[in-house]
Amino acid sequence: MTAAAGLLASTLALAAAKPVPGVAANCPARATAVVEHFMGADCLDCWKAAPPSAGAGPVGDTEWSLDWIAPAADDAAMAAGALPEAADRLARLGPTLPTLLATPPAAFDAHTVLETPAATRRFYVHSSLPHMGYMGVQMHAAGVWPAGSSAWIALVELIPVGTRDSVVPRRLVRVLVGPLALPAGPGAKNAVAPLYGLRWPENAHADQLVATAWVENADGRITQLASDRCTDPK
């Protein structure tokens, strides 16, 4: 998943943001909550469902969303989009929650209120243009987070409403790296900026991939989230 240092350097050399009109450099600055849709790879109906069905929980105007497909059988309808880390992510929210994907309907929605960013912290992410099957992604964090907090970096595929059988817009997590350490103390000398060259799955649409990073607290709850080249909630 991670590339050699030389590839990272050449990839990030192309890191000028895509010129997308009306898109913020980093957001979602106005998001107040995140809704996570979890689906088993064998529940195509969950992917096709309309709100308020499980796997398609409503997302408010000031809310962000992430979509996760957990592996099932190799011949499952959505096996190509499944991510092994999806079940782990659900388990961090609650150790027994992955069992909800074992019986129909194999879907679960988690709603988490984000924290107001502290003035003493900085947290953002940026990425390169796609290059030879990779994207360079770098997370930046400064300040001090509560004990037990961890950072995560993802490549997220934007799937517009009405495409690929989905009646709601999706932000499907395709690649995940973490947990990553956050700064050990205040000040610039403690700031962290981990850099990765992430290879996207062959069936992903490279032009629809964006970098996303978030902070989880000790209970697995997402407390802060950042994405690049995205439209901020209203």
State residue 103's pLDDT score. Answer: 84
Name the pLDDT band for 4 (thresholds 50, 70, 90): very low
State residue 93's pLDDT score. Answer: 94
Q: Given a cut of 60, is residue 13 above it in pLDDT?
A: no
Of 84, 105, 117, nearest to 214 (Cα)? 117
Residues 91-104, mean pLDDT to the nearest whole number: 90
User: Which of the two residues, 62 and 3, has the higher pLDDT score?
Assistant: 62
Tens of pLDDT along 19-71? 344 445 567 878 999 999 999 999 999 999 999 999 999 999 899 999 999 99
State residue 3's pLDDT score. Answer: 44
State residue 32's pLDDT score. Answer: 92
Give how far Cα 130 sits from Cα of 10, 21, 134, 200, 210, Å.
11, 19, 6, 9, 10
What the block records as the tokens of 188 is 């610039």
Tell me the residue ranges of DSSP E strands in 96-220: 107-113, 122-127, 134-142, 150-159, 170-180, 195-199, 209-216
**Cα angle at 74 between 73 and 80, to 5 degrees?**
115
The count of other CB atoms within 10 Å of the CB of residue 64 is 26
State residue 23's pLDDT score. Answer: 46
Of 211, 224, 232, nearest to 24 (Cα)? 232
State residue 2's pLDDT score. Answer: 45
Tens of pLDDT along 60-70? 989 999 999 99
Question: Whole-number mean pLDDT of the chain?
Answer: 87
Residues 99-109, mean pLDDT to the nearest whole number: 89
State residue 149's pLDDT score. Answer: 96
Q: Which residues of 164-175 are buried (b: 16+ CB within 10 A; e: fewer)?
A: eebebebbbbbb
User: Which of the two residues, 130 and 21, has the higher pLDDT score?
Assistant: 130
Residues 72-79, mean pLDDT to the nearest whole number: 89
Name the pLDDT band for 211 (thresholds 50, 70, 90): very high
Residues 120-137, mean pLDDT to the nearest whole number: 90
State residue 82's pLDDT score. Answer: 95
